[in-house]
Structure 1
Amino acid sequence: MKRTAALVGATGGAGTTRLCLETAAVLSHVGRDVAILDAAFATQGLARHVPGRIDTDITALLTDEDDLADALLEHPVPTPGRLSLCPAYAPFERLARAKTATAAEAFERLVERTADEFDHVLIDAPPVAANQAVAAVHAADTVTLVAPASRLGADAVQGMRGRLADLGTDADTVLANRANGEHPLEDAVPIPTSDETAVEDVPASAPELDASFSPAIVAAVETVFDVSLDVEFPEERFLDIDPEEYLPDDYLPESLRS
């Protein structure tokens, strides 16, 4: 079983942070303790999922050797397992110091330290172009590329594979995000669009699994971490079914016809 995984955006805006949260939510749903480390210093997107004040962030751990416990913030959604976030939230000066080669070595040690305390560690990584992203792919047991399910995403995956090859590694898995039909990302795990009405900072897979979206996340988790999860999905209720999908128009009353 692989315990640490770097989810790397093949391109900007691929949805890596969101899939890190969904992956962690599924794992914590089955009772596993999971931490997400933020390597996307430029966007600091993980910080938007943390309620309240952030006093110690991941860049402080990398530059000032602060205590890991001070930087781990619990996600408010209730799950059987622990779901902790270690976001980047820092002024530019400290962000710059956190991108140095010395800080990258500290990042690799941080991954090891976090793995000692959690069942699984996810790294939210941007496209590989800075030291902390290089450290992320070297420190993790497995590397997963996240790309939009489009021609742009397929081209980005090809380019990122080339960059990883330059670093002496490769991607083990590709997640095709927002795959709502046919797409050009061959052999990728398809992830459909989640419910657009869901609250943005709450995972769709927590505290309860979503019958239409969570199965794809479970498939991704099992592929990324090489595990088998015993998960029961909720059945769709009859009232959730749209009758127009199953009945001809001339069968429906006038009020339900489109």
Structure 2
Amino acid sequence: MTGTQGSGECYAVVGGVGGAGATRLSVEFAATLARAGRDAAVVDAAFATQGLSAFVPERIEPDVTRVLTDDRPLAEVETRLGLDVPGSVTVAPARTPFERLARAKTSECARRLAERLSAATDRYDAVFVDVPPVGANQAVAAVTAADAVALVVPDAERGSDAVPRMCDRLADVDAAVDTVVANFAGESRTVEAADAVVPAGETGALSEAPAAVEPTEFAVAVASAVEALTDADLDLPEPESSSMTDYLPG
């Protein structure tokens, strides 16, 4: 990552299981890059849960599914978050009735999603895609279009079990997991395959995100995960009490 707008890359942030926190981390990852002066976007591919819509309180019309079903530009559904950081975070959420949700999952719409993601990297330093457990066309399109894939799992037994299963599933579609992120971690470590570990933080509510815009212990862990995924050296300020070793796997 160069940090120059128009030369960005696309990162798929995949939830290994339901409730893994991929939506929250997608936004926290983008906010972390924004702290470092980058312009980042988050695109919703989790059409069923539509969690990214929590960041846009006003009516969302059109939404990202209409971009795909009606063949419209992604820029029509983008909303910039009002964050006091050097860079920016823009979100493109899904907020759709079931009928359009189903149409947005077709193979033709998946092809359009891949095209929109590629085009978005011409306008942003980084594009993060919020991806549900891979099992539908739009999720497949996201992981195959991405330059790198982060697999987010809870730091628990069900998260550990999900890692090999999801790695095999991505291999089936000619994709691969580049970074495993163990989320909601406590003092003990369960997911041995984790490349990065993120603690639960003070709150898990989407309404409280992004929290990584301030130099806290949570932000340190998120920044470590972002650096593992993007190979970037963000050189962000840390709280005086922070210890990076608390958030490294092993």
SS at match of 2:200: coil
**Residue number in structure 2 paired with 1:233:** 238
Cα 1:165/1:198, change in 2 over 3 Å:
closer
The gaps in structure 2 that reach 5 residues or longer are 2-7, 242-250
Aligned to 2:210: 203
Q: Secondary structure at the match of 1:107?
A: helix
Conservation of the 8 A alpha-carbon contact between 1:4 and 1:140: yes
Match for residue 12 of structure 2? 6
Separation in 1 of the partners of 2:211 and 2:13? 18
Asked if the contact 2:73/2:116 (under 8 Å) is kept, the reply is: no
User: How far apart, in 2, do the equivalents of 1:197 and 1:91 lie?
Assistant: 26
Aligned CA RMSD, in angstroms, stands at: 1.6
1:199 Cα deviation from its structure 2 partner:
7.7
* CA offset digits 1:75-105 (Å, max 9, x no partner): 1232211210000011111111110000000
Maintained 8 Å contact 1:8/1:125? yes
Deviation, structure 1 residue 198: 7.8
The residue identity in structure 1 corresponding to 2:176 is D
Aligned to 1:191: 198
**Which stretch shifts more, 32-41 or 175-184?**
175-184
| Total equivalences in the alignment | 234
TM-score (norm 1): 0.87
Confirm or deny that 1:155 pairs with 2:161: yes
Q: Is the 8 A contact 2:44 2:94 kept in 1?
A: yes
Q: Deviations over 1:158-214 (max 9, x none)?
A: 1111111111222011000011122231241110111139883331112x222x111
Percent of aligned positions that are identical: 46
Greater radius of gyration (CA)? 1
Q: Partner letter of residue 85 of structure 1?
A: V
Aligned residue in 1 for 2:143:
137
Return closer, same or farther for 1:230/1:70 CA change in 2, 3 Å cut-off. same
Distance in 2 (alpha carbons) for counterparts of 1:122 and 1:199: 16
Q: For residue 234 of structure 1, give the secondary structure of its aligned residue in structure 2.
A: coil
CA contact (8 A) 2:54 2:206 kept: no
Name the SS for the 1:178 alignment partner. strand
